Structure 1
Amino acid sequence: MAANEELFTRELQHGLGVMMTLDATRLLLAFKQAHDASDVSERIRPLALVLEEEIAKPPADGARLPERDVVNHTPKRFWSRTVDGRALAEADIRRILSTLREFLAWVGPVYRLAGTADRGGLLCPLPKTCC
């Protein structure tokens, strides 16, 4: 299977009626216990993943990122993406699940709302088994 589109639905309709398309380069990682971002970063790097903000470059003038580009990690949920922008294959996701199985509660697909280009358009529908 070429990309995680085989594991996750390619398109979904948001509750507001807007279509969302799978971003096969990203995952939301939900951990069983609270973790520090640096710990998560170390755990996922061998899996060719980085935390979302590790890719983002702050504005050159030292200003803050626009609110729509701020990553909302929590102590248990971390937005991740592939290091090289490559789509995750089913085998990649299974390797992530296998490697982190003792730590993860679940892994969620990330979707982009139609008509958006920044991080503010990314979201992950929570699985039914969540929380």
Structure 2
Amino acid sequence: MTGPARRPRRRRGDEGETLVEALVAVALIGVAFVAILGGIGTAIISSATQRKVTTADALVRSAAEQVVGAPYVSCATGYGTPTPTAGYTVTVEIAYWDGVGAFGRPCPTADAGVQKVTLTVRATGPHPVRDTTLEVIKRESVPS
């Protein structure tokens, strides 16, 4: 009688990877890839949002410079605003000092010589951002 069949002993370097180990490795690589891809997507969206906010801020400041540089017009309806770049709108609202303590609309019969010009830039498109608003107070220059 012969003894039980013996399998040949494997040497240490001959061991292979099991299917489970390979699947776990692929799953870990997939999770890491999804995390990296999500981070890149978030960075792209944040960059686009920041670019829109910066452009809107530049547009509203440019419009304010035009208002400040324009001569005072009694009961003005507008002071000319720059043509906005594509994807942005610029609105101008003018309120008139009533001479007592408040700004209002429409222009009173006697313009008190002070106007509050509110400039608003709105970014349009698929990912709009907050409106950028700037107020400019215009005073009629008094001859000296």
- Structure 1-normalised TM-score? 0.27
Higher helix share: 2
Structure with greater contact order relative to length (CA < 8 Å, sep ≥ 6): 1
Q: Which has the greater radius of gyration? A: 2
- Structure 2-normalised TM-score? 0.25
